[in-house]
Structure 1
Amino acid sequence: MVSVIDLHGDPHVARYLETDGEEGYRWRNGTEILILFTEGRRSGEQRSHALIFREHNGAYLVVASKGGATAPPAWFVNLSANPQVEVQIKGDRFPATARVATPAEKPAMWAKMIEVWPDYDEYQTKTDREIPVVVLERA
């Protein structure tokens, strides 16, 4: 049996959804995971992604890093086309609106995300693309 901390991608999402986050909410290095549901910008199909998050002033922060790749993650491109998303945290699934943190907001939000996943700083050094912090606000 695969440990939950070794899960990535679709297997992580499936385990999380099957157990309402009982398995998959807590992940590596004490991080907490939410499931982000976006609509495919071309297909119109629902896509789901397990992402590290932090709560911040009643909203939820995620980082569109893709490990420092030149191109942003597909989920970010999808929510840029349609910011109306759904979020699941443990057994609580709700509609939300996604937006990119403003230049004034980002430093504090980035610092908060670095506390739980310091590798984000390294990812930023790998790319010329500014890695955004995405704010998910309950609709």
Structure 2
Amino acid sequence: MAQQFLFGQEHVDKYRETDGQEGHDWQGTTVLLLTTTGRKSGRSITTPLIYQKHGDDYVVVASKGGAPDSPHWYHNLVADPQVEVQVLGDRFAANARTAGPDEKPELWRLMTATWPQYDEYQTKTDRPIPVVVLERTGS
């Protein structure tokens, strides 16, 4: 049975159990797992997110479907940019940063090419939706 929803612990569990064989490919796009440290709880929190490669980096979007506030995972990585990423069977530490104004337009086009709904989400909210760059740290 195909994975219906991106969000949820079931998606995370299947992805981890199968090194992304289940859960990486989703509705015509690709998904990674991002693990942040909860800024209030201090717990590790893993979220499946649509991504694209950009050079050696990975790019994700903090859209929350166009909600007025950014998703919790984004607030967590702003508070602590040291994150863990899993792409298929590759797990690595990364530094997360919000794309700056010079690079965001190119990265936004990259992400809307893979998930056109991001443009729709942006029309639903007054906040600029952040684009996040995940830079591998170490090997």
Same fold (TM over 0.5): yes
Q: Could you tell me how far apart the structure 2 residues matched to 1:3 and 1:129 are?
A: 33
- The Cα shift of 1:7 comes to 5.0
Cα RMSD of the aligned pairs, angstroms, is: 0.9
**Conserved 8 A contact 2:20-2:89:** yes
User: Retained in 1: the 8 A contact 2:6–2:48?
Assistant: no
Unaligned segments of structure 2, at least 5 residues: none
Runs of 4+ in 1 over 6 A off after TM superposition: none
Contact 1:64 1:72 in 2 (8 A): yes
Runs (5+) with no aligned partner, structure 1: none
Q: 1:127 to 1:5 in 2, by over 3 A?
A: same
Letter of the 2:19 partner, please give it. D
DSSP 3-state at the match of 1:47: strand
* Greater helix fraction, Structure 1 or Structure 2: 1
Contact 2:32 2:51 in 1 (8 A): yes
Alignment match, 2:24 = 25
Whether 1:115 aligns to 2:113 is yes
Matched, 1:106 2:104: yes
Question: What per-residue deviation string (whole Å, max 9, x for no partner) do you get for residues 33-68 of structure 1?
Answer: 000000000111000000000000110000000000
Aligned equivalents of 2:47 and 2:74: distance in 1? 11
Shift of 1:11: 1.1
SS of 2:112 mapped into structure 1: helix
Instruction: Give 1:70's aligned residue.
Output: 68
**TM-score scaled to structure 1, two decimals?**
0.96
The alpha-carbon deviation at position 3 of structure 1 amounts to 2.1
Seq. identity, %: 57
TM-score of the pair, normalised by structure 2: 0.96
Match of 1:86 in 2: 84
Report deviation, 1:4.
1.9
Q: Distance in 2 between matches of 1:101 and 1:7?
A: 23
1:31: how far off? 0.5
- What's 1:124 paired with? 122
